Amino acid sequence: MAPRTCGSCAGGCVTSCCTIMGVKELDKPNGERCPKMASDGTCSIYAERPAACREWECVWLRAEDVLRNMDRPDRSGVILDVTNPPPDAVIPQSIVARETRPGAFGEDAAKKLLAYFQKRSLVILVGPGKRTVTGPPEMIKEMIKRRRAADRLVAEAATASDPSTPSEGERS
State the Cα–Cα distance between residues 116 and 109, nearest whole angstrom. Answer: 11
Asked, for residue 93, whether it belongs to a domain, the answer is yes
Q: How does the average pLDDT of the chain come out, rounded?
A: 84
Asked, for residue 165, whether it belongs to a domain, the answer is no
User: Which tens digit of pLDDT belongs to each residue from 17-59?
Assistant: 777 788 999 998 887 888 998 888 788 998 999 998 888 888 9
State the Cα–Cα distance between residues 20 and 138, nearest whole angstrom. Answer: 27
Task: Please state the domain count of the chain.
Answer: 2
Coil/strand/helix, residue 151? helix
User: Which tens digit of pLDDT belongs to each residue from 102-116?
Assistant: 889 999 999 999 999
Q: Model-level pTM?
A: 0.75
| Helical (H) or strand (E) element with 78 | strand 78-82
| 2: pLDDT strictly greater than 60 | yes
Asked, for residue 121, whether it belongs to a domain, the answer is yes
Asked, for residue 108, whether it belongs to a domain, the answer is yes
User: Which tens digit of pLDDT belongs to each residue from 53-81?
Assistant: 888 888 998 888 889 888 988 888 899 99
Question: In the prediction, which pLDDT does 48 show?
Answer: 93
Our measurement of the distance from residue 139's CA atom to the centroid of its chain's CA atoms, rounded to an integer in Å, reads: 17
Asked, for residue 78, whether it belongs to a domain, the answer is yes
Whether 67 and 152 share a structural domain: yes
- The CA distances from residue 27 to 6, 18, 44, 164, in Å, are 25, 13, 16, 39
Position with higher pLDDT, 150 vs 168: 150
Asked, for residue 16, whether it belongs to a domain, the answer is yes
| 119: pLDDT strictly greater than 60 | yes
**Residue 3 DSSP symbol:** P
The fraction of the chain above a pLDDT of 90, given in percent, is 31
What is the length of the chain? 172
Whether 95 and 17 share a structural domain: no
> Residue 26: which domain range?
7-56
